[in-house]
Amino acid sequence: MFAIEKGGNGEFILSGRLDASQSGKAQELLDTVSASQVLDFKDLDYVSSAGLAVLLRTQKRLMSQGDGLKLVNVSKHIFDILRYSGFDQVFQIEQSD
């Protein structure tokens, strides 16, 4: 199960598992983002390369207009995946405590 909900401060809260069967749904939602946006990963358990592709496509689109995604409350497992992918160089990332 994967979901994105709008939080009280305008952030998007991602939850569940962002795998290949859910990446279309994630892309559809992130395609509606038109300016800099915070994505809260506190309830996100898993992301595969299909989910990373969604993040990268969205980031490229936003950065071309001077905006970008900020990923917050990122767990250690997901941070490792982002770092191995070089995403720590192209996203603003804050790890969870």
Q: Which residues bind other proteins (CB under 8 A)?
A: 17, 19-21, 46, 48-50, 52-53, 56-57, 59-60, 63-64, 77, 81, 84-86, 89-90
Q: Which is nearer to other proteins, 9 or 29 (CB)?
A: 29
Least distance to other proteins from the beta carbon of 6, Å? Answer: 26
Q: How far apart are CA 11 and CA 30, in angstroms?
A: 12
Burial status of residue 61 (CB atoms within 10 A of its CB: 0-12, 13-18, 19 or more): middle
Q: Strand (E) positions, the chain?
A: 2-6, 12-18, 37-47, 69-74, 92-95
Least distance to other proteins from the beta carbon of 49, Å? Answer: 4
Least distance to other proteins from the beta carbon of 15, Å? Answer: 16
Neighbours of 24 (CB within 10 A): 11
